[in-house]
Amino acid sequence: MKLLFVGDVMLGRLVNEVLKREPPVYPWADTLPVFKQADLRFCNLECVLSDIGQPWSITPKVFHFRSDAKNIDCLRAANIEVVSLANNHTLDFEYEAMFQMFKILDQAGISFAGAGADLAAAATPAILKVGRASLGFLAFSDNEPDWEAGLKIPGIFYVPTDKSDLRAKNLFRLVKETKEKVDFLIVSAHWGPNWGYAPPAEHLPFAHELIDNGADLIFGHSSHVFRAIEVYKDKPILYSTGNFIDDYAVDEIERNDESLIFMVEVEKGTVSQITLYPTLIENLQARLASGNEAENICLKMQTLCAEMQTPAEWHKKEKLLRISIA
């Protein structure tokens, strides 16, 4: 079983404008052949898909990302089956727009987790079947505490990355319960600040606790740059998968236009290998990096992984990295 992960997919603002004249495949550029190799494809949807709603005004917020409802076809074009909605843009256009997005995703047959009409819904995992195997997908965020879903309050599955917090303990319990029902469990974490190649110190023990309670893979995002992959108890932690599609200004030092496609191979419920394809954001598209660009991105990731004692092998001819686990 091959599972493909990419980080933040932001289809709003200038990307939304270009999609008024370009086809739905446009933002994916030449990456789609890689997407077709996977059995399931996942991303963090860093915008709301909706034609309604007003910018969030209940508490101060600088950036609001919305993409036209028709741009669900972009996700379809890449055969995205699962998205995380536990992030800091799902409620950018308030509750009405979020609810419309739920319907749009449902109608498209795209599963989601991390947001809902109340806490129970927001914390409900997506459950999928791949052949005979069952797969669970839980999503939480430590961003935007004002958007925390409650007993009768819509919002996101907000969980502080503090192991002693009652909400964190509830998440660990939920992970354990979900793992008892599925063969492979993914926990999506939209966590931490936007910048920095090193994960915050508290993320390491938190991720380990998630795995100790049954998670098979941690799918991290929120940071605009990618971070290392750690292998803990033979289970991978993708601390940050970075940005994949957006219209953001590029920082010359922390290159937020650089990222990777993360292809995870699972055999008998265990991750055996991860293949990393380097990518660049250019002209509001994600494209496969080439030449020195590809080598530099992979060298950076290789160095970050080495700091976590994770060997990553550079394959120059194929322009990719491979991490062997089991």
Task: Please choose, from the candidates 159, 162, 123, the residue with its C-alpha nearest in 3D space to the C-alpha of residue 141.
Answer: 159
d(CA 195, CA 58): 26
What pLDDT was estimated at residue 118?
A: 98
d(CA 30, CA 159): 36
CA 134, 187, 64: angle at the middle one, nearest 5?
Answer: 120
Residue 323 pLDDT greater than 90, yes or no: yes
Burial class (CB in 10 A: 0-12, 13-18, 19+), 193: exposed
Burial class (CB in 10 A: 0-12, 13-18, 19+), 317: exposed
The residue written with tokens 């650089």 in the block is 258
- Domains in the chain: how many in total? 1
pLDDT in tens, 53-95: 999 988 889 899 999 999 999 999 999 999 999 999 999 999 9
Contact 209, 199 (CB under 8 A): no
Q: What average pLDDT does range 84-109 have in this prediction?
A: 98
What pLDDT was estimated at residue 60?
A: 84
Q: What is the CATH number of the domain that holds 263?
A: 3.60.21.10
Mean pLDDT of the chain: 97
pLDDT in tens, 117-160: 999 999 999 999 998 999 999 999 999 999 999 999 999 999 99
Q: What average pLDDT does range 284-312 have in this prediction?
A: 97
Question: Residue 120: which domain range?
Answer: 2-324
Q: What average pLDDT does range 246-257 have in this prediction?
A: 96
Task: Please choose, from the candidates 100, 105, 90, 94, the residue with its C-alpha nearest in 3D space to the C-alpha of residue 46.
Answer: 90
Q: What average pLDDT does range 229-256 have in this prediction?
A: 97
